Structure 1
Amino acid sequence: AFLMIGAGVGPAGTSLLTLLAGEVAPARRAAAGTIVWLMMIAGFAVTATIAGKLLDPFSPERLLAVVAGICAAAFALACTAVAGIERRAPRPPVQGDFRAALREVWAEPAARQFTIFVFVSMLAYSAADLILEPFAGEVFGLSIGASTALAGQQNAGTALGMVIVGLLGSWFAGRPLGSLRGWRVAGCLASAVMLAWLAGARPQGAASFPLGTAYFLLGVGNGVFAAAAIGSMMQLAGREGEARAGMRMGIWGAAQAIAFGLGGLAGTVLCDIGRAVTGAAAPAYALVFVAEALLFIVSAVLAWKIGATARPNHLREAKA
């Protein structure tokens, strides 16, 4: 079941990003991408909050009923979302060599560096995706419903972080506080700090550590990084010409999807390895959080370099 979900989510997400690049005007791409991601995070937050309340008191039968209801609602929403999109008049096919187009896009320094940034940052972002709830339950003794509700707090923080970037980026456009480059770096570093905080948490009960606050602030850092990355993606998609915008979005979407899947797998495998070596749950989870923090630090360095290399091209275009 999980394999089939992943096989559907990955291609759907990549196709959606390519659709945005092809159908949305360049000036509106950043806003469109942010809205799409924000709606996804809002869905996570609402679902986690509702599921957390419905799962207590826990029983296998109740779990199956909640999962079935959520799956049915998600399927209905997805069908509603795609209804009518394919009815539009198709564009005439464009003749061209896919491999040549791929090589052409990969030869662009900004596109190549941004692909690496997306892969590394999403690897860090998703490595904790499958272990945050078990961490709260196994290390701090929270119930399944309470740990699921914590995921809702994290996603609420993510939504807030994205809104902050959207508002401040618009209000201070053209000034340092409105720089997507700065927000990318800040979001990655903030996420690294919060993961390091979680890694140092001592398993002495939920009351001894502000777990909800930590999850919420981690979400804020993730949201800042995600919003800035999406805005940068939409800007870079058409920077070297609209002809290859869809190809660039496809490459970045594929990098994001592959990293998201690998991150979830790597996080759980690393946690199991840590548990086998140490014989305890807390150090195993801490190992994953530290690895994520290091990946986010690497992502911050990559994010900074993207801005440094893109600026000369922009100046050359302005002079021309």
Structure 2
Amino acid sequence: MHAPLASPRSEDASAGFGWFAIARIGMVQASIGALVMMATTVLNRLMVVEFALAAAIPAGLVAWHYAVQLGRPLWGHGSDKGGNRTLWIIGGVALLGAASLMATQATLMLGSSPALGFTLAVIAYTLIGAGVGAGGTSALALLASGVAPQRRAAAAALTWIMMVAGIVVSAITVGKLIQPFSPERLLAVAGGLALATVGLTALATFRLERQAGRFGHAAEDDEAPDFGAAIREIWNETAARRFTIFIFVSMIAFSMQDLILEPFAGLVFGLAPGESTQLGGQHQGGILIGMIVTGIGGSAFSGKRPDGLRLWVIGGCLLSAVGLGALGLAAVNGPPWPLGINVFVLGLGNGVFAVAAIGAMMGLAGAGEKTREGVRMGVWGASQAIAFGLGGLTGAVGVDLARSALGDDGAAFQLVFAIEAAAFVLAAVLAIKATGAPAMRAVAVEGKREVYA
């Protein structure tokens, strides 16, 4: 039996990134979120409303940008081998900014030159996926290698909250700046957003990497293995393989509601567009509070024992399942069901689960024998990206098929919510072993590496 240590043996527990450094990585995440918002929200609306295209076209482009992120392990491995994650971060965000501007131009061309516009859009969304994957994976790898165990939950909460804030602030700002709407104004705003986010990323990462502590493989001088060897080590490692499967299942469950929550509110509860948007705000509010609670509470446990976040991961999954099960009841009961409270509870569970899972991910990122943080975060990032794309598509297509087969909107939504709840229960079961003490024990310090012993 191995008793976990309260803190690493050969390092001061406060070593590594301080809170300001963690916030600087959060600025990178906020920049990525702001640029992705442009492609997935503003341009999506233009394609469907102004250019009267089928909603499947922008949805397909968004799904494609997730598919491109299967390359995350390769980009993460590149940042491992290069020994300079900062260049990968800035380069990824710069590529994302340029691709966002290209996607804007492509969207505006759809009215006059549909074939050329669509071809350019496919190229742009390919580059968007590459930019998100390269910059985001390297940023998370830098965070994982430079944050002490007891700070990981709070660091995950802070960076995720800043990413959400980046999405919200940029959406409000862009929405105001493009009024009154014109193609020229939209291009100018898109260009300004790209320049601002790339500049912010360069400023946030300036001399940041040298502040990283000595956690995981961050301090090792040996050469990182080649890509094939790294992937084989990860897949042959039981803990990493289980965690990859857990991430895939849980993120499918997490994303299935994305495209159906507001249609559900309108079809079953008769809410107007503005009211359903406010309902989405209540869901996001629950997520935010769940993140904050887990960031504070999870940090108290994660530094004391290797599986300190396991109960938070499992609890978040089960609370999400309860919220979805209640939505299933709401679907067949309708008003006066307390829909706002129900959605808030669902968001609370989502926020708890998300932050705890990312904190556990950062812990496992430095636990490989030879593989480093970049390729390991890349593998889990790819799993997450594909799950997000499949989850959103599965939820939307599932509702369409169920409505057609059952002939009743309430019953159709109840079936899909029940499947999603079952997926969260399965994720909770998988989390028992994926984030338990045996899986997480190899994350403290032995010589230059972290290993709880």
TM-score normalised by structure 1 residue count: 0.81
Amino acid corresponding to residue 427 of structure 2 in structure 1: S
Does residue 186 (structure 1) correspond to residue 315 (structure 2)? The answer is: yes
Kindly report which structure 2 residues correspond to 1:66-81, keeping only aligned pairs within 5 A, or say none: 72=190, 78-81=197-200
2:349 to 203, 221, 224: 221
Distance in 2 of aligned mates of 1:2 and 1:298: 27
Residue 140 of structure 2 corresponds to residue 20 of structure 1: yes
Bigger share in helix: 1
1:5-154 → structure 2 map (5 Å cutoff): 5-6=62-63, 7=65, 8=125, 10-15=129-134, 16-22=136-142, 25-27=146-148, 30-43=153-166, 72=190, 78-83=197-202, 96-154=225-283
Asked if 1 retains the 8 angstrom alpha-carbon contact of 2:332 and 2:410, the reply is: yes
Identity of aligned residues (%): 47
Instruction: Indicate the SS of the match to 1:200.
Output: helix
Contact between 1:13 and 1:253, CA under 8 Å: does it hold in 2?
A: no
User: Which residue identity does 2:258 align to in structure 1?
Assistant: D
* TM-score, length-scaled by structure 2: 0.59
From the superposition, tell whether residues 198 and 80 of structure 1 become closer, same or farther in structure 2 (CA, over 3 Å). Answer: farther
CA change 1:202–1:272 in 2 (3 A) is closer
What amino acid does structure 1 have at the position aligned with 2:133? T
Deviation string, structure 1 residues 156-181 (Cα, Å, up to 9, x no partner): 110100110111123455569x9200
- Of 11-20 and 187-196, deviating more is 11-20
Cα separation, 1, equivalents of 2:319 and 2:208: 45
- 1:170 match: 299
Relative distance call for 1:191 and 1:116 in structure 2 (3 A) is same
Secondary structure of the corresponding residue to residue 271 of structure 2: coil
In the TM superposition, what are the counterparts of 1:190-209 in structure 2 within 5 Å?
A: 190-202=319-331, 206=335, 208-209=336-337
CA distance in 2, matches of 1:13, 1:188: 26
Q: Deviations over 1:265-302 (max 9, x none)?
A: 00111111110111111111111100100000000001
Task: Tell me if structure 1 keeps the 8 A contact 2:153–2:302.
Answer: no
Q: CA deviation at 1:110?
A: 1.1
Q: After alignment, is 100-109 or 302-311 more displaced?
A: 302-311
The one-letter amino acid paired with 1:286 is Q
Residue of structure 1 in register with 2:426 after alignment: 298
Asked if residue 237 in structure 1 is aligned to residue 365 in structure 2, the reply is: yes
Closer, same or farther: CA 44–138 of 1 in aligned 2, 3 Å: farther
Where 2:259 maps in the other structure, the secondary structure is coil
Matched residues, number: 305
Q: Hey, what does 2:97 align to over in structure 1?
A: none
Are 1:3 and 2:132 an aligned pair?
A: no
- Match for residue 58 of structure 1? none
Question: Counterpart amino acid of 1:233?
Answer: M
CA–CA distance in structure 1, aligned partners of residues 265 and 170 of structure 2 = 18
Q: Does 1:249 align with 2:249?
A: no
Matched, 1:264 2:381: no
With 106-115 and 35-44 compared, the bigger mean Cα shift is at 35-44
- Which residue identity lines up with residue 220 of structure 1 in the other structure? L
C-alpha separation between the residues in 1 aligned to 2:205 and 2:356?
30
Summarize the Cα distance change of 1:289–1:64 in structure 2 as closer, same or farther, 3 Å threshold.
Answer: farther
Deviation for aligned residue 1:134 = 0.5
Amino acid at match of 1:113: R
Is contact 2:328-2:417 (8 Å) kept? yes
User: For 1:139, what is the secondary structure of its paired residue?
Assistant: helix
Residue 313 (structure 1) shift = 5.2
CA distance 1:75–1:287, change in 2 (3 Å): farther
Per-residue deviation at 1:46?
A: 6.7
Larger Rg: 2
Amino acid at match of 1:295: A
Give the 3 Å change call, closer, same or farther, for CA 107–172 of structure 1 in structure 2.
closer
Please report the RMSD computed on the Cα atoms of aligned residues, expressed in angstroms. Answer: 3.7
Look up the equivalent residue of 1:35 and give its one-letter code: L
Give, in angstroms, the shift of residue 12 of structure 1.
4.4
2: CA distance, partners of 1:47 / 1:89 = 25
Report the residue type matching 1:182 in the other structure: L
